Amino acid sequence: MTIAVTTPRFKDNVHEALHDERLQGALLHASNFIGRRSTAVDRLPEFDALRDSARAIKDHTLAHLDLYLEAYERKVAEAGGQVHYARTSAEAVDIVLGLCKERGAKAVTKGKSMISEEIGLNAALEGAGVEAIETDLGEYIIQLRGEAPSHIIAPAIHVTKADVEADFRRAHRDLPPDRDLSQPEQLLGEARGILRNKFLTADIGITGANFLVAETGTSIIVTNEGNGDLTQILPKVHVVVASIEKLVPTLSDVAQILRVLARSATGQDMSVYTTLSTGPRRPGDPDGPEEYHVILLDNGRSAMLGGDFEDMLRCIRCGACMNHCPVYHAVGGHAYGWVYPGPMGAVLTPSLIGVAEGGQLPNASTFCGRCEQVCPMRIPLPKMMRHWREREFERHLSPATVRSGLAFWAFFAKRPALYRFATNLGMRALNLAGRARGRFSWLPFAGGWTRYRDMTAPQGPTFQSQWRAKSGAVR
Amino acid sequence: MDEAVKPALRVGLFVTCLVDLMRPSVGFAAVKLLEEAGCKVVVPSQTCCGQPAYNSGDRATAQAIARQTMAAFEDCDAVVAPSGSCAGMLAKHYPELFADEPDMAVKANAFAAKCHELVSFLFDRLGVRKVSARYDGAVAYHDSCSGLRELGVMSQPRKLLASVEGLRLVEMNEADVCCGFGGTFAVKYGELSDAIVRQKSANVAASGADTLLAGDLGCLMNMAGKMQREGRAVKVRHVAEVLAGMTNDPPIGEAATGAKR
Amino acid sequence: MSARDDIFAAIRRSLHVTGDEAPRRAAVASRLAEAPIGIVPQRGQGDAAHRATTFKAEAARAQASIAEIARVEDVPAEIARFLRDNNLPATLRMGDDERIGALPWAETSLEISFGPSDGHDLNAISVAFAAVAETGTLALVSGRDNPTTLNLLPDNHIVIVFASDLVGDFESVFSKLRSVYGQGRAPRTLNFITGPSRSADIEQTLLLGAHGPRRLHIVVIG
């Protein structure tokens, strides 16, 4: 019961996104992350070396994931917490619903968690009669709008201030209708007040985890608002839902990765709140949850280990890739059609929902390489998108026109003499057809191009034919 | 040439299919630049670097074309392409294509090590620091993605352009952002590609440049095609043409007017 | 087979291991025991004076306010001043930490209360477990001395940092953690706090005081 997948209609999504003026205006903000990241990186000479260190730590962890998971669950138990295992989204949802039911929970607060989107947790909770309140301001806003997040760090980046005011007026009906909500400060203040009450009265708090530390059995969340903290320390029960690749061996290892996380995401050196939670409250603790549960989710990760897409398991969900992606900048996150947008979404989505449903995404890339250039964990994103294209090609999933076009090209490319002959003939003909203007407004078989752009006419005889004519050399 | 005379390198020109088919003058400009820098240029019979097949997931075809290409250029000291994306294919991806075949991998690595993009070859390998060309105009330079991110081509073209008499280099906004070409992407995802190239076209216009240059013909045809569809009067050429002082042919997408430069 | 069994089996299958291999077990055991340190940035390093200067600059960058006083006895007066200067009510909540409990609060007109926060406190004061120079970050641990809710619920949070607890990097904080709590142990909550609460979710406009404190005031002693 996850978010509805619209990835197969990616091209339609693109069309809608490009014609959505409001969205296009909002997307201009996505570029701000670029300069901020760049400034933060410039201020830290060790940044690139830290990326290498972070990659090595994750690679080591993944190669020993079974053993680190064992160590981690031992430590969680020692600290008085409980670990649950879920093979699939459905199992994870069932565990959460079971915990809620056993405790008669009526209301649950949620820290920002992409995993909870992946498993469709909110819909399941609502279906079970449990109120699920998103507390991250961006997530709260889109929850009011009934939308999915459009960016993994800034989920409401596609929403304007005017939208938020309208949503708040619609949802917060108990407040005086003549109140002024024209400024962002007022909107924030209103959200703070409304959510403060929810924090204090929730039965269960559910968060994700940026990291799970085997050394101490600790879960770590990284926020700027403090909502994750209020979610996890106020209610009687704290539930962490995290996928298995979030494991990191030690606190020293966490320090390495933390140094590249916030800088890559928002350009901050550290997020405002980086919080380490280990088990429920101890004897003598005046505050904190009485119960601490961790649900470890597989949902396709174990299958990625040891394979072509293993590198993707290093992802720390910073969002730098999408912040630098020309495709993301053009259409925003919803166009990708599921939970994870941008380059990381293009690689991860087919792994999690299958290449038949998710295969459009790795094709919709120019391989410009900016994502790989900025990824703090040095994930070779274009290479993995190419792997998906190889899988599709092997399984004949690419469109017939593309396959036959390529086969036609390949036929000639493998036969140099024929190639030179045919291309020379073809280009001379095309040149004759186009020489008056120097370009074509339309060409058969090139509609995808000429619909939007003129197509240059060739200069005439090919270079190789001219070279041979000049030099008389035969090789 | 600024450097002491070196023994003539035997340079195989990898002309690239787009230059071969669409704009041979770029190939001749490349030859001129290489010969002026003291190279002996040969042009083995060639077709394609295999990138269209490679990026479409057809590894088998890409490997076949790669074997053919490596054989054709076997007796060259260096292989030079007037294209960052083709040079990137040869220098960075050929080894990856044969990563699972130890014998071919060795060959591919050796081959890759001698493959270069044209401008970086002139500047970094041959030590060329200036050219004797002349070009009157305000020039914006677009950094093609593969050249920039796979091969580190960024300062070299700008430094050589700075030595062109009469040429004024203007930096446009987001010069290092993709133009939206991406090979088959431009056709498969036409509307998306169009959105990206529209942004590029706007950046070119905002820069005030009357000329747009880059090192990749695919990018150039994409950007020229868009600007011409929008009615923008910007002259688009391959950077080699300007560096070689060979700008008699009409710019990309324009017809011969009879007026010579 | 339970979900746990299935997941472990799937992981081991993908990695082509049984899980019993001695070299793997040894590698994991040794990393967990030794917790090797990676790259530590230069930025937070140097002598105490340098660390203090870096800490203050970085904390200010994150929009915390910072005051330096020579003696811990001057804390009550500094807090009273801070509240007054910001037109805040003269109330203050704190935990059981003796280092501030025993201070001359009576010399001020501040109304002091003790214990965790239930959301109705405007101002709270904590003592930091450590402060990290490289990023201007405070480290606060849970417990009766400095209840975690004081870090998050009040509008204004004041944190005392003893100069001897001002370290250069995160590794030093973790090292101290291990020596205080023991090998493989951590407090129930460790908050790393860098500046006041903020959000940029409304049209990317940066605003302070999202859910946590609007103001963070750091008082460095010594």
How sure is the predictor about A150, in pLDDT bands with cuts at 50, 70 and 90? Answer: confident
CB A135 within 8 A of CB A230: yes
pLDDT at A405: 84
For chain C, how far is it from start to end, CA to CA, in angstroms?
A: 60
pLDDT tens figures, B210-259: 999 999 999 999 999 999 999 999 999 999 999 999 999 999 999 987 44
CB A421 within 8 A of CB A415: no
* DSSP reduced 3-state for A37: helix
How sure is the predictor about B5, in pLDDT bands with cuts at 50, 70 and 90? Answer: low
pLDDT tens figures, C130-142: 999 999 999 999 9
Spatial distance between the Cα atoms of A451 and A239, rounded to a whole number of angstroms:
52
Rg (CA), chain A: 26
pLDDT at B86 over 70: yes
pLDDT at B2: 53
pLDDT at A369: 98
Please name which of A400, A327, A385 lies closest in space to residue A355, comparing C-alpha atoms.
A385
From residue B80, how far is each of A17, A193, B10, B23, B31 by CA, in Å?
41, 65, 10, 17, 10
**Chain A, window 211-270: residues with a beta carbon less than 8 angstroms from a chain C beta carbon:** 214-218, 224-227, 229-230, 233-234, 244, 249-253, 255-256, 258-259, 266, 268-270
Percent of chain A at pLDDT > 70 equals 99
Question: Is B45 in contact with A416 (Cβ distance < 8 A)?
Answer: yes
Do the bridges between strand B115-117 and strand B40-42 make them parallel or antiparallel, or are there none, so unpaired? unpaired
Give the residue, C203 or C95, on which the prediction is more confident: C95
What contacts B202, CB < 8 A, 6 or more positions away? none
Q: Which of A85-99, A266-280, A439-453, B133-147 has the lowest mean pLDDT?
A: A439-453
What contacts C133, CB < 8 A, 6 or more positions away? C43, C44, C51, C52, C54, C55, C58, C166, C167, C168, C169
Compute the average pLDDT of residues A36-59. Answer: 98
pLDDT at B4: 59
pLDDT tens figures, C3-44: 999 999 999 999 999 999 999 999 999 999 999 999 999 999
How sure is the predictor about A4, in pLDDT bands with cuts at 50, 70 and 90? Answer: confident
From residue B241, how far is each of A430, B3, B128, B170 by CA, in Å?
22, 23, 16, 18
Report the side by side order of strands in the sheet with B78-81.
B40-42, B10-13, B78-81, B115-117
pLDDT tens figures, B21-31: 999 999 999 99
* DSSP reduced 3-state for C27: helix
Q: What are the two backbone dihedrals, phi and then psi, of residue A402, each rounded to the nearest 5 degrees?
A: -65, -45
pLDDT at A154: 86
What contacts A411, CB < 8 A, 6 or more positions away? none
pLDDT at A2: 53
Question: Is A226 in contact with C207 (Cβ distance < 8 A)?
Answer: no
Q: Which of A128-142, A250-264, A322-336, A396-410 has the lowest mean pLDDT?
A: A396-410
Give the residue, A26 or B106, on which the prediction is more confident: B106
How sure is the predictor about B6, in pLDDT bands with cuts at 50, 70 and 90? Answer: low
Q: What are the two backbone dihedrals, phi and then psi, of residue A216, each rounded to the nearest 5 degrees?
A: -130, -5
Spatial distance between the Cα atoms of B83 and B34, rounded to a whole number of angstroms:
14
Residue C32: count other Cβ atoms within 10 Å of its Cβ: 20
Spatial distance between the Cα atoms of B193 and B97, rounded to a whole number of angstroms:
27
Instruction: Give B224's contacts in chain A (Cβ within 8 Å).
Output: 439, 454, 456
pLDDT at B104 over 50: yes
Query: Taking phi first (over 0 means left), then psi (-120 to 50 degrees means alpha), and beta for anything else, what does residue A438 get?
Result: left
Residue of B nearest to A446 (CA): B187
Spatial distance between the Cα atoms of B92 and A175, rounded to a whole number of angstroms:
62
Residue of C nearest to A87 (CA): C3
pLDDT at C115 over 60: yes
CB A235 within 8 A of CB A203: yes
Residue B261: count other Cβ atoms within 10 Å of its Cβ: 11
The kind and range of the H/E element at A211 are strand A211-213
Spatial distance between the Cα atoms of A105 and A113, rounded to a whole number of angstroms:
20
How far C182 CA lies from chain A's nearest CA (Å)? 10
CB B193 within 8 A of CB B185: yes
Q: What is the dihedral of CA C169, C172, C176, C179, to 10 degrees?
A: 160
pLDDT tens figures, B188-213: 999 999 999 999 999 999 999 999 99
How sure is the predictor about A30, in pLDDT bands with cuts at 50, 70 and 90? Answer: confident
pLDDT tens figures, A120-137: 999 999 999 999 999 999
pLDDT tens figures, B130-179: 999 999 999 999 999 999 999 999 999 999 999 999 999 999 999 999 99
For chain B, how far is it from start to end, CA to CA, in angstroms?
A: 25
Residue of A nearest to B19 (CA): A463
From residue B43, how far is each of A176, A332, B57, B203 by CA, in Å?
79, 45, 29, 37
What is the maximal distance between C-alpha atoms in chain B?
Answer: 56
pLDDT at A473: 54
Do the bridges between strand A218-223 and strand A273-277 make them parallel or antiparallel, or are there none, so unpaired? antiparallel
Torsion sign, CA atoms C217, C218, C221, C222: negative
Query: Taking phi first (over 0 means left), then psi (-120 to 50 degrees means alpha), and beta for anything else, what does residue A410 get?
Result: alpha
Give the residue, B4 or A18, on which the prediction is more confident: A18
Angle at A59 between CA A54 and CA A62, to 5 degrees: 125
* DSSP reduced 3-state for C1: coil
CB A233 within 8 A of CB A288: yes
pLDDT at B3: 55
The count of C-alpha atoms lying within 13 angstroms of the C-alpha of A225, restricted to the half-sphere facing its C-beta, is: 28
pLDDT tens figures, A76-85: 999 999 999 9
pLDDT tens figures, A178-228: 999 999 999 999 999 999 999 999 999 999 999 999 999 999 999 999 999
Spatial distance between the Cα atoms of C10 and B250, rounded to a whole number of angstroms:
62
Average of per-residue pLDDT values in chain B: 95
Orientation of helix A47-63 relative to helix A251-265, angle to 10° = 130
Q: B11: which 2 tokens?
A: 């340079």
Q: What b/e string do you get for A26-55 counting C-beta neighbours within 10 Å, with b at 16 or more?
A: bbebbebbbeebeebbeebebbeebbebbb
**Closest to A287 (Cβ–Cβ): which among C116, C135, C210?**
C116
pLDDT at A475: 47
Spatial distance between the Cα atoms of C161 and C55, rounded to a whole number of angstroms:
11
Q: Which of A33, A134, A164, A216 to mutate to test the interface with C (most CBs of C within 10 A)?
A: A216
Percent of chain C at pLDDT > 70 equals 100
DSSP assignment string, A440-470: ES--TT-HHHHTTS-EEPP-SS-HHHHHHHH
Spatial distance between the Cα atoms of A21 and B151, rounded to a whole number of angstroms:
37
Spatial distance between the Cα atoms of A157 and A17, rounded to a whole number of angstroms:
14
How far A280 CA lies from chain C's nearest CA (Å)? 7
Compute the average pLDDT of residues B26-46. Answer: 97
Q: What are the two backbone dihedrals, phi and then psi, of residue A341, each rounded to the nearest 5 degrees?
A: -100, 180
Instruction: Give A250's contacts in chain C (Cβ within 8 Å).
Output: 31-32, 35-36
Residues paired with residue A82 on neighbouring β-strands, in sequence order: A293
Percent of chain A at pLDDT > 90 equals 84
Residue of B nearest to A360 (CA): B189
* DSSP reduced 3-state for B237: strand
The count of C-alpha atoms lying within 13 angstroms of the C-alpha of A184, restricted to the half-sphere facing its C-beta, is: 18
Q: A385: which 2 tokens?
A: 């998108």
